[in-house]
Amino acid sequence: MHSILIIDDETKIRTLLARILELEGFEIHQAEDLKSGLKKIKTLSPEIILCDVKLPDGNGVEFAKEVKEKFPLIEIILLTAYGNIPDGVQAIKNGAFDYITKGDDNNRILPLLYRALDRVKYNKENEVSQETTSTKLDSNLLLGKSPIFEQALQLAQKVAPTNATVLLTGETGTGKEVFATAIHQSSLRKDQNFVAINCSAFSKDLLESELFGHKAGAFTGAMKDQKGLFEEAHSGTIFLDEIGEMALDLQAKLLRVLESGEFIKIGETKPTKVDVRIIAATNRNLEKEIANGTFREDLFYRISVFHIELPSLRERASDIELIVNQFIKHFNHYYQKNIKSINQEALLFLKKYSWPGNIRELKNTIERAIILSENEELSTNDFPSFIQTSEIDQNENSLELALMEKKHIQKVLKFTKGNKTKTAELLGIGLTTLYRKIAEYKLN
């Protein structure tokens, strides 16, 4: 029986949650504050903790960090009466599995619990401490024997031991964060923090606060001093994904870090010094962005000291079989399946498909196929129809990449009946990226 600890100072809410979860067959324990909750964690070793954010003796967001540091295999889901973006971001950074609003998100609790239990089970089996399953999987994505992929790997291996700033470019889903992680792990900074942030996931003001931190009272809601990610990455590496999305005034602040190793926090007057290696990534053509006036030329030359272009999956179709077999092995273990191989017909379809979402899309496709398959061998019937019917025209190589991308996005949108969330998931790209592509290509 799975063990869950509920920490909430409101007796009625705690009792109601306990009753609902007991009916699902869970073993439930309760605590009214963080102090008693911590005692029960030590004695009962629950698998999941459901914890209120505001408690009489502390804050659940900070408590999540303490729990993950001391008990890395426990997953914690935070419950709040009044959700806000900064708290949600900090909760996930502190290791919380999720952050949800009471009442509005009640229907999410049970599905979340089962997903969190999957995470616990997988982590226990693989003796994972604070490393997530996705990080474990990402390490396995550095697979490939094609010459174009080997060339990118060799460049990464050469630059890794240095302190040079690196710019990784390539289409969405080509594994830029995987390469950044590998470069850090092979560097002299490998024992220090590796901090990653997607610059497109935050508004300008929130991104500035996340990167550089702020002083208490600097803006509404800034109740205390907060370290930025550059400080968190001191002596280590910071990975700035989708740097092409960064606002111009933030680019100027980043340029100062590169030139002088210092920055000024929001609400501060004195500079803060840091020693950080920067690895940046983008799927945009920064030379075009410079011409359009949306990216600083001086910053471009600073971040592109060492430039590595990552190939698309189309350009290394010969690697698909190797990658697919690795995904089969991984998801067999994750979903307790016993799929031994993929048949040659299905493999041929995968090699013919153009993969606009690259490895990320391939991963999602194999995961879906393994969930659906009832046999020991994956076949064409286990894959979406738009992959089964995909054919590459012999003359298609002469077409612009943008035209191919537009055609495939149209095809997937039609398959999902216009469901943009599902389309982004199948393509292996972010929802923000999909909306940008829809606007760019003027798609309905």
Q: Which helix (H) or strand (E) holds 378?
A: strand 377-378
Q: Which two tokens stand for residue 156?
A: 């990464």
Rounded to an integer, what distance in angstroms lies between the CA atom of residue 122 and that of residue 273?
Answer: 40
Instruction: Tell me if 79 sits within 8 A of 8, measured CB to CB.
Output: yes
For residues 211 and 228, the answer to whether their CB atoms sit within 8 Å is: yes
| Residues 30 and 76 placed together within one structural domain of the fold | yes
Same domain, 399 and 373: no
135 domain-assigned: no
Same domain, 299 and 170: yes
Please indicate, yes or no, if residue 141 is contained in any of the structural domains. no
Q: Count of CB atoms within 10 A of residue 189's CB? A: 20
The distance between the two most distant Cα atoms of the chain, rounded to a whole number of Å, is 69
pTM of the model: 0.59
| Residues 157, 279 within the same domain | yes
**E-state strands within 209-317:** 237-241, 262-263, 272-273, 277-282, 306-309
Task: Specify if 315 maps to a domain.
Answer: no
* Cα(52)–Cα(49) distance, integer angstroms: 10
Domain with residue 427: its CATH number is 1.10.10.60
Q: How far does CA 127 lie from the centroid of its chain?
A: 21
Task: From residue 191, give the alpha-carbon distance in Å to each of 74, 160, 245.
Answer: 24, 14, 30
Residues 169 and 345: their CA atoms lie apart, in Å, by: 33
Instruction: With cut-offs at 50, 70 and 90, classify the pLDDT of residue 226.
Output: confident
* For residue 404, pLDDT beyond 90: no
Q: What is the mean pLDDT of the chain?
A: 85
* Same domain, residue pair 403 and 377: no
Element (H, E) at 439: helix 431-441
Residues 344 and 256 reside in one and the same domain: no
- Residues 206 and 291 placed together within one structural domain of the fold: yes
Residue 210 lies in a domain: yes
Instruction: Please classify residue 187 by burial: count the beta carbons closer than 10 Å to its beta carbon, then call 0-12 exposed, 13-18 middle and 19+ buried.
Output: buried
Query: How many CB atoms are closer than 10 A to CB 124?
Result: 11
CATH number at residue 59: 3.40.50.2300
Using an 8 Å Cβ cutoff, are 337 and 367 in contact? no
Is residue 277 situated within a structural domain? yes
| Parent domain of 380 | 320-388
Contact in structure between 219 and 261 (CB atoms under 8 Å): no
Residue 418 falls inside a structural domain: yes
Q: Are residues 43 and 113 in the same domain?
A: yes
Residue-wise pLDDT for 146-166, tens only, equals 999 989 998 998 899 999 999
pLDDT in tens, 374-387: 899 999 888 887 77
Strand, coil or helix: what is 142? coil
Per the CB < 8 A criterion, the answer to whether 332 and 339 are in contact is yes
Q: What percent of the chain has pLDDT over 70?
A: 89
Report pLDDT for 388.
65
CB atoms within 10 A of CB 104: 10
Q: Kindly indicate the confidence band of residue 222, based on its pLDDT and cuts at 50, 70 and 90.
A: low
Angstrom distances, CA of residue 384 to CA of 57, 139, 353, 390, 396: 51, 27, 11, 10, 22
Q: Of 309, 339, 363, which residue is a domain's last?
A: 309
**Residue 226 domain flag:** yes
Q: How far apart are CA 324 and CA 332, in angstroms?
A: 12
Same structural domain, 151 and 206: yes
- Give the Cβ contact number of residue 338 at 10 Å: 7
- Same domain for 289 and 151: yes
Total count of domains within the chain: 4
How many other C-beta atoms are found inside a 10 Å radius of the C-beta of residue 285? Answer: 13
In this structure, are 275 and 152 located in the same domain?
A: yes
H/E stretch holding 233 reads none
pLDDT tens string 55-96: 999 999 999 999 988 888 899 998 887 767 677 778 878 888
β-pairing verdict for 272-273 and 75-80: unpaired
Tens of pLDDT, residues 115-141: 888 778 766 665 433 333 333 333 444
CA–CA separation, 67 and 102 (whole Å): 21
77-81, 167-171, 277-281, 328-332: least confident range: 77-81
140 part of a folded domain: no
Angle between helices 109-125 and 133-140 (to 10 degrees): 50
